[in-house]
Amino acid sequence: MDATPTRETRIGVCNLCEAICGLEITVEGRAVVGVRGNRADPLSRGHVCPKGVAIGDVYADPDRLRRPVRRVGEGGDARWEEIGWDEAFDLVAQNLARVVNEHGDDALAVYLGNPNAHSLGSMTHGTAMFKSFRTRNRYSATSVDQLPHQLVAHLMFGHQLFLPVPDIDRTSWFLVVGANPMASNGSLMTVPDFPRRLRELRGRGGRMVVLDPRRTETAKVADEHHFVRPGTDAWVLLAMLHVLTAELSDELPPVPAYADGAGTVADLVAGFTPEVAETMSGMPAEDVRRLARELLAADGGVVYSRIGVSAGPWGTVCQWAVNCLNVLSGNLDRVGGALFTTPAIDAVGTGLIGRGHHDAWRSRVRGLPETGGELPVSALREEIETPGEGQVRALLTVAGNPVLSTPDGARLDGALRGLDFMVAVDIYVNETTRHADVILPPTTALERDHYDLVFHLLAVRNTARFTPAVFDKDADQRHDWQVFKEITLRTTALLERRAPLKKRLVQRARLTASPTLLVTALLRRGASGVTMAKLRSRPQGIDLGPLRAGQLPGRLPSRGRRVDLAPDLVVRDVARLAAVDAPDDGGLLLIGRRHQQDCNSWMHNSARLTKGRPRHQLLMHPDDLAAREIADGSRVRVTSRVGSVEVEVAASEDLMPGVVSLPHGYGHARDGVLMGRSREVPGVSVNDLTDPERLDVSGNAALNGVPVAVSPA
């Protein structure tokens, strides 16, 4: 028998971030020996980043779970015992059903982490599983991320995921507020190969302007960058609206006939002058004025904001202002402006994803409003700890790590110990899943078929792509959709209060068809002409052309096909904003940071992604260090209202004075335990400092702009 397996190249896809790059993966038997960007991919055009190159590390990682495990013991003494799938599913179903039967539907909480959006099986079968649980305690990473975008889209356009995307390939003026696509590769804007697209933009004579309290990788390649004091973008964006409506009103294009409330917008921003914006944000009034003028004059211009703003205290107002700027300057639904995609599977238009709602119910303890059926994850800890009817006693997490990713993670860590039962669907023992009684590990990206139901919806070009699994799964492994199916069917069968038979039969049918079969059927329902057969014959993807302009009002999902420029909730929050006092200088404000080689909290077991210079430090301006007599490189204590951490500090001229920055997703060793991983990575969790009481009106955590003190350790 030949000992060396043959080398083969297969087409794959990277699911690690929203850029969904097409890959060429060279394999030898069961080993990945090379990863390249696929040049034939019509969306990613050959792009790949260091994480994509490392995608095989997850597949090969000996620390990754491949079979269900049951925890024996607690904390540092915990041991993990492998058990069979059948036994594991029964254990999970019996315990989830027991808690629900004894304490009611709300006693079971669920938390969905970020990789769910990147798995086809989660989108098809995970959603069905969540619907089968009638709990109000549904949580996800959405409320530490893009909730304001979804709420504003729901209020203004009538659907939580009808999100306009910057037409970056044709724009001539691009304002980026609180995003760092050079590191993140874009978000709510699927934009593989941002560097090349930016070069092309500049080649056309276009300009990019960045507003960020840190001179980021993106700011450094921009035509213009302004520091903005964390948490004050709202004043800048409202001042730009003020300039358009009060100072340049004669030059504005007509308000689209399908949009209501332009007069209210003008009234709302009447007091928000560029001078007020300067006082609040530190950005010069004249620059605010000029940027508003440039947006209006651009032949296709667009304002784009992301997590620096949506995970801030005024995320909803900011995202509303961004949409209003694009509408009033004539750039919504225009080439080079903000456009809506026309994907082969239109999960929005077909109603596959619901329109959303807001404040249909509230959280039990703090009375926080739901959005789209989810409560803010900042409320999860108190819902577990506070006794009474509806107290959370069991938790199911899927692909998430809220101990590291949500505010006051340290206290959540403690609260999880008090649960009656916890189950995690995850491929690692992490800071959160270590509390689970059972972990069910599904297959990973390279072992499953993929069609992207989410990110084609948000991409800067219309394309469609189906990539079959690169590797077959082992006989004793399960895909995530199979795990969701078993949990749902076995748990619901044990419930005392069961859904009507007809509903259960529909549910069973939906869970039994594979995701690939569902995609095949959904493609047939669409009007794109793309079929599964065509996709299989072109695994690099099918190009459906640039984003289309002139689709409104026809495609508006709202009843009556109208845009509401002045939703009540926003009107009320702008009044709250107007009452805020000018900031008192002197304190420090903490912001987040992403690096190209990090992937939220979970790729730190890859040697190639963690070698080289450490990058976990607190970044701080040299003047702020000098004022506190702190030496560059020394250990400092960072303290916020909720907690304190000790970490190395690194001087950086790139930070706005008064601002410090820590990346999230670090701080793996807790209680001195390295979880299931063998690699030690230095750093602390920024979310041991962030505050669950600091929320945007949507309920999104205000993770950025946290007041902190820094002193020598």
Ligand X SMILES: Nc1nc2c(c(=O)[nH]1)N[C@H]1C(S)=C(S)[C@@H](COP(=O)(O)OP(=O)(O)OC[C@H]3O[C@@H](n4cnc5c(=O)[nH]c(N)nc54)[C@H](O)[C@@H]3O)O[C@H]1N2
* Residue ranges binding ligand SF4 (CB under 6 A): 14, 16-17, 19-21, 48-49, 51-52, 185, 192
Q: How far is the CB of 49 from ligand SF4 (least distance, A)?
A: 3
Site string for ligand X, 186-225 (x = CB under 6 A): -x-----------------------xxxx-x---------
Question: Residue 192 binds which entry of ligand X, ligand SF4, Mo ion, none, with Cβ cut-offs from 5 to 8 Å by kind?
Answer: ligand SF4
Q: Which residues sit at the interface with Mo ion, rule CB under 5 A? A: 145
Tell the residue number behind the tokens 């009656």, with chain if given.
420
Q: How far is the CB of 395 from ligand X (least distance, A)?
A: 13
CB nearer to ligand X: give 375 or 563: 375
Question: Residue 306 binds which entry of Mo ion, ligand X, ligand SF4, none, with Cβ cut-offs from 5 to 8 Å by kind?
Answer: ligand X
Figure out which of the listed residues 340, 466, 484, 602 binds ligand X, where binding follows CB under 6 A: 602
CA dist 392 → 100, 406, 432 (Å)? 10, 17, 16
Q: How far is the CB of 380 from ligand X (least distance, A)?
A: 11
**Cβ-closest position to ligand X:** 308
CB nearer to ligand SF4: give 21 or 542: 21
One DSSP character per residue, 564-630 reads: ESS-HHHHHHHHHHHTPPPPPTTSEEEE----TT--TTS-TT-HHHH-SS---SEEE-HHHHHHTT-
CB nearer to ligand SF4: give 191 or 659: 191
Element (H, E) at 320: helix 315-328
124 is an interface residue for ligand X by CB under 6 A: no
CB nearer to ligand X: give 201 or 344: 201
CB nearer to ligand SF4: give 318 or 459: 459
Name the nearest CA neighbour of 184 among 22, 319, 49: 49
CB nearer to ligand X: give 259 or 311: 311
Site string for ligand X, 400-419 (x = CB under 6 A): xxx--x--------------
Q: How far is the CB of 487 from ligand X (least distance, A)?
A: 12
Site string for ligand X, 613-652 (x = CB under 6 A): ----------------------------------------
Spatial contact of 445 and 15, defined as CB atoms under 8 Å apart: yes
Q: How far is the CB of 477 from ligand X (least distance, A)?
A: 12
CB nearer to ligand SF4: give 49 or 425: 49
One DSSP character per residue, 254-317 reads: PPPTTEE-HHHHHHHTTT--HHHHHHHH---HHHHHHHHHHHHHSSSEEEEE-HHHHTSTTHHH
Give Dmax over CA atoms of the chain in angstroms.
81
Element (H, E) at 140: strand 138-140
Spatial contact of 294 and 128, defined as CB atoms under 8 Å apart: no
Figure out which of the listed residues 106, 598, 688, 696 binds ligand X, where binding follows CB under 6 A: 598
Total residues found in the chain within this entry = 713
610 is an interface residue for ligand X by CB under 6 A: no
Per-residue buried b or exposed e for 592-607, using 16+ beta carbons within 10 Å of the residue's own CB:
bbbbbbbbbbbbbbbe
Classify 491 as helix, strand or coil: helix
Size, binding site for ligand X by CB under 6 A: 64
One DSSP character per residue, 84-139 reads: -HHHHHHHHHHHHHHHHHHH-GGGEEEEE-GGGGG-HHIIIIIHHHHHHS--S-EE
CA dist 540 → 10, 11, 447, 471 (Å)? 10, 7, 17, 17
Figure out which of the listed residues 115, 158, 256, 676 binds ligand X, where binding follows CB under 6 A: 115
CB nearer to Mo ion: give 61 or 145: 145
CB nearer to Mo ion: give 179 or 291: 179
552 is an interface residue for ligand X by CB under 6 A: no
Q: For residue 127, what are the contacts with CB-CB under 8 A and spacing of at least 6?
A: none
CB nearer to ligand X: give 96 or 523: 96
Q: How far is the CB of 307 from Mo ion (least distance, A)?
A: 7
Name the nearest CA neighbour of 570 among 364, 273, 367, 316: 316
Q: How far apart are the first and last CA of the chain?
A: 62
144 is an interface residue for ligand X by CB under 6 A: yes
Question: Residue 21 binds which entry of ligand X, ligand SF4, Mo ion, none, with Cβ cut-offs from 5 to 8 Å by kind?
Answer: ligand SF4
Question: Residue 402 binds which entry of ligand SF4, ligand X, Mo ion, none, with Cβ cut-offs from 5 to 8 Å by kind?
Answer: ligand X
Spatial contact of 338 and 332, defined as CB atoms under 8 Å apart: yes
Classify 220 as helix, strand or coil: helix
- CA of residue 682 relative to chain centroid, distance: 24
CB nearer to ligand SF4: give 56 or 557: 56
Token digits for 598? Answer: 């990090």
Q: How far is the CB of 442 from ligand X (least distance, A)?
A: 5
**Cβ-closest position to Mo ion:** 145
| Footprint (CB under 6 A) of ligand X, residues 312-351 | 312
Name the nearest CA neighbour of 150 among 356, 388, 303, 328: 356
Q: How far is the CB of 192 from ligand SF4 (least distance, A)?
A: 5
CA–CA separation, 683 vs 606, rounded Å?
Answer: 16
- CA of residue 468 relative to chain centroid, distance: 25
CB nearer to ligand SF4: give 218 or 482: 218
Residues that bind ligand X (CB under 6 A): 17-18, 113-115, 119, 141, 144-145, 177-181, 183-185, 187, 211-214, 216, 228, 230-231, 233, 306-309, 311-312, 398-402, 405, 425-428, 430, 442, 444, 480, 591-592, 594, 596, 598-602, 664-665, 686-687, 690, 703-705
